[in-house]
Structure 1
Amino acid sequence: MQFYDRAADVVRAYYDRRIDTPATLDTDRYFPEASRFTGAYPAIRREALAVLDTLHRVPRFHDLMPQQADISAGDGRDWRMFILKAYGVAVEENLQRCPTLDALLAETPDVVSCVVSFLAPRKHIPAHRGPFRGILRFHLMLSMPLADDGLPACELNIDGVPYRLADGDTLLWDDTYPHEVWNRSDEVRIALLLDIWRKDMPADAALVSAALMAATRAWIRKRGMSYGG
């Protein structure tokens, strides 16, 4: 854990010096292919709801990455990740269950990772930062519980700014900024999370990013994670 934290700090410090963009970004500029996914929202949502029927088989985030147990397991409530693609490594058995996403990923190579995220009722993900600014995070909300006032019951707070995404809403953001999540409802929140290759990097940062991606793919293949589902 200490080695992972130190390595993440070194990577973040490098990218902080080389890339200076805000916490949230313009989707049309940085991910124009987003319309492919938003246009297929009803079909993607149906596929995610089908996975919900076997949610107990989907691994929790800390099952996949024990280094993240403080973030994922601290309150004893589940944060489950149905992974279709991880840093360029396809998870074929999961792609077969989601043919719409399978087809979209095949025609959108800049999406390096694709996950359907299931956040348990009353789950809290404490504030943290991702280590790798070579990718951007795209949210497509698939099933958002509502509070008593009819507003979205889950909050994503990014760098001190709260976001409440309704069904079908999207957000493109940089997860190296501090962020925190609350599900203040008694229902599961379901979101599509895409990691997008950042296109505006300086040449040296692009080379470092490519090397980190290759190393991560090699680690994933060597470890042979069980993705469940």
Structure 2
Amino acid sequence: MGRLYDRGAQLLRRWYDRRLAEPAVLDTARYFPDAERFAAALPALRAEALGIAQQFNAIPRFHDIMREQADISANDARDWRMYIMQAYGVRVPRNLARSPTLAALVASSPDVLSASFSFLAPHKYIPPHRGPFRGIVRGYLPLVMPLDGAGHPAATLTVDGTAHRLHEGQFMLWDDTFEHEVRNASEEVRIVLLLDIRRRLLPAGLRLLSSLIVGVVAFGIRLQRSKMAV
């Protein structure tokens, strides 16, 4: 990642870390009660994601959208592709039109800022990294989860040193500023729904700062929205 991005992310994390004490994995009922509606829509969301996956090679790789992420997206010869439908409140209408169930859920959940289908190729490994900004939290809902020989999820999300193996339809809410990594140890593509969700229960000062940061990031995203459309 570029030095400017890294330095900015470090400063942001330090500022929030002094004021927040929440753990890496958060109480979904407290911080995002709408999670139940997303999980309940699993069959429709899976069908929409599988339809999009038929054009797998047309879906942008993450580092094609964000060059700053090349060290975690282009670290090996295997693909991590992101079908982005909304990013920091900036809609990608063409992509949203192909996932009407998700579009309706996002439209009725004002705390959801970003929504993407994440496609992880067989044996793809995303090395340890940290997100920049604690003003949002990450929703993670497996839609297509390969299983190993024992029937356990073959793709692992490790957050703050704890490995999580989630079955399809199990929603997890977590803070991506904690170090995390992902490994797909299977021969199949793993597909999850990723959401960026406005963090609730922030002190007034951090709430204002978060709103400002979201606005600045959204402005930059509008300039490159065309890269996301498939």
- Note whether the superposition's TM-score is higher than 0.5: yes
| Contact kept? 2:115, 2:196, Cα under 8 Å | yes
Match of 2:94 in 1: 93
The CA deviation at 1:208 is 0.8
- Provide, for residues 165-211 of structure 1, a one-character-per-residue CA deviation record: whole Å limited to 9, x for no partner: 11111111000000011000010000001111011111111111101
The CA deviation at 1:42 is 0.6
Separation in structure 1 between the aligned mates of residue 223 and residue 57 of structure 2, nearest angstrom:
25
Runs of 4 or more off by more than 3 Å in structure 1? none
| Contact kept? 2:130, 2:180, Cα under 8 Å | yes
Q: May I ask how many residue pairs the two structures share in their alignment?
A: 229
Determine whether 1:54 maps to 2:52. no
The CA deviation at 1:39 is 1.3
| Contact kept? 1:84, 1:113, Cα under 8 Å | yes
- Provide, for residues 66-111 of structure 1, a one-character-per-residue CA deviation record: whole Å limited to 9, x for no partner: 0110011101211000001000000100110001011111111110
| Contact kept? 1:96, 1:102, Cα under 8 Å | yes
- The aligned runs of 1:1-229 (5 Å cut-off) are 1-229=2-230
| Contact kept? 2:13, 2:134, Cα under 8 Å | yes
The CA deviation at 1:138 is 0.8
Q: Secondary structure at the match of 2:227?
A: coil
CA RMSD of aligned residues (A): 0.9
Separation in structure 1 between the aligned mates of residue 223 and residue 96 of structure 2, nearest angstrom:
20
Q: Secondary structure at the match of 2:30?
A: helix
- In structure 2, the gaps of 5 or more residues are none
State, as a whole percentage, how many aligned pairs show the same letter. Answer: 53
The CA deviation at 1:225 is 4.0
Separation in structure 1 between the aligned mates of residue 76 and residue 197 of structure 2, nearest angstrom:
29
- In structure 1, the gaps of 5 or more residues are none
Separation in structure 2 between the aligned mates of residue 57 and residue 100 of structure 1, nearest angstrom:
22
Q: Secondary structure at the match of 1:209?
A: helix
Q: Secondary structure at the match of 1:167?
A: coil
Q: What TM-score, normalized by structure 2, do the two folds share?
A: 0.98
Q: What TM-score, normalized by structure 1, do the two folds share?
A: 0.98
Separation in structure 1 between the aligned mates of residue 187 and residue 225 of structure 2, nearest angstrom:
34
The CA deviation at 1:36 is 1.3
